[in-house]
Structure 1
């Protein structure tokens, strides 16, 4: 893999929390950092703050609301138009609706359950669309930020129309991301791209955790350390299709290792995102 100072790295959900810290650390290491967020002002502020703190002039941002698949497509098109290659894609953005919120089962613009839409379908689509750039880099890495909170997916109620709870929705979306990791690794074996997922740590000090659970139990910095490790550490060279519990390879939920279920999820994901062309791997 190239030296970090020669890499281009896209981080989704990079305007606050773990993603924001990860972006700053990678900028300090000299990488060209592409930040994503859904609010243009927050994106601009994060870019400018990181520039001041690191002195890096290799920072840019892209805006998209991941609850809208058309916005994911637009953002991917902008990245494809602006770059010849991408060395690392970190799918970090995620949501966990606050229990007792305004909507009993919040949904995306396309009517999908919100956690599955933002935490899984959006990164699935973005990754598929950016594969040409990742292939062009020669030895790229895809890093999916999953969670130790994983619950088996019920394909008869994929969008949790029955028995919805925010935590159940979150856990299923994070298992879907782990399943995608393993299946995409299988499909990219000949492409020189590695795909891994990680649990950054439990109840870290992020806005999402504070809103949903109250007092955090760990630092956002520790989570960023994990993301940076899996994204650029030489220790992870050649490792693919793995689930990391922080910096240690571990076992994801058993459903992630069922090839038939993974392929069923892949087919459903293509249908729901209309990813279609370019996904024959």
Structure 2
């Protein structure tokens, strides 16, 4: 059955690999990237390698939440129903900064942007008979501080990244509980995969990028995971693929989760 799938951050890395896998299956794919020219080149490449002409895309800079809102509006106008949303876009080490209320760019791109996008396009997700949302988390997760949520400087890029990924995971669990008909999973696709992000940050990799794209693909469409909402999949735990495992303890603390969501709503909407 043909599904309509949106993958953010998919002009390279595991997002692009996942898009190609789905395209080869004949699904309708929408990719996303920051650069319009690169987006168009990637769309043409996916069409060519897959033989699938049902490939489209959206441009948005996720460090700018006004840009995210603009993209979400286009999605709601262009896509009547969305079966699968893969929140893959992410950033780690960069010299770029966010213009959003002085927040660290990693918190904006990795957490605020997917939070805003998902909730804005929720009406078309709910039109699917069996919708799924896959949120790309990480093995790196650390307590989300009050200082970070106040827009104060975070100690370093690694700490900022870890906080953003735990925030995403905590929200994933909350979203799964409040939207029980949408299968929602947070996943660590694998540490130090052979991607631009890992190589720029560490200058090395442990596993191929396909280790990550393969598990994203499975979580998004396999019947094996259809009843796995509200869980965290750790792809570092096994070979060739991992299994569901505990996330950071904060992800199970209802008071911390509620405080995070309340603060997030205040930050985004005020």
Paired residues for 1:260-279 under 5 Å: 260-274=255-269
- State TM-score, norm by structure 2: 0.94
Cα deviation for residue 108 of structure 1 reads 3.6
Paired residues for 1:1-281 under 5 Å: 3=1, 6-98=2-94, 101=95, 106-158=97-149, 161-162=152-153, 164-189=155-180, 192-246=181-235, 247-274=242-269
- Retained in 1: the 8 A contact 2:193–2:205? yes
Give the Cα separation in 1 of the matches to 2:137 and 2:19.
Answer: 18
After superposition, the Cα gap between the structure-2 partners of 1:186 and 1:57, relative to the gap in structure 1 and judged at 3 Å, is same
Segments ≥4 residues shifted beyond 2 Å: 106-111, 156-163
- Retained in 1: the 8 A contact 2:103–2:152? no
Q: How many residues align?
A: 264
For residues 248-275 of structure 1, what are the alpha-carbon distances to aligned partners after superposition, in whole Å with 9 as ceiling and x for unaligned?
1011000000011101111111112229
Give the Cα separation in 1 of the matches to 2:267 and 2:105.
Answer: 13
- SS at 1:136 equivalent: coil
- Retained in 2: the 8 A contact 1:116–1:159? no
Give the Cα separation in 2 of the matches to 1:78 and 1:244.
Answer: 31
CA RMSD of superposed structures (Å) = 1.4
After superposition, the Cα gap between the structure-2 partners of 1:239 and 1:141, relative to the gap in structure 1 and judged at 3 Å, is same
- Retained in 2: the 8 A contact 1:68–1:110? no
After superposition, the Cα gap between the structure-2 partners of 1:112 and 1:163, relative to the gap in structure 1 and judged at 3 Å, is closer
For residues 227-263 of structure 1, what are the alpha-carbon distances to aligned partners after superposition, in whole Å with 9 as ceiling and x for unaligned?
1011111111121000001241011000000011101
- SS at 1:10 equivalent: strand
Cα deviation for residue 62 of structure 1 reads 0.2
Give the Cα separation in 2 of the matches to 1:134 and 1:265.
Answer: 23
Give the Cα separation in 2 of the matches to 1:110 and 1:264.
Answer: 19
- Retained in 1: the 8 A contact 2:9–2:88? yes
- Retained in 1: the 8 A contact 2:148–2:154? no
- Retained in 1: the 8 A contact 2:102–2:151? no
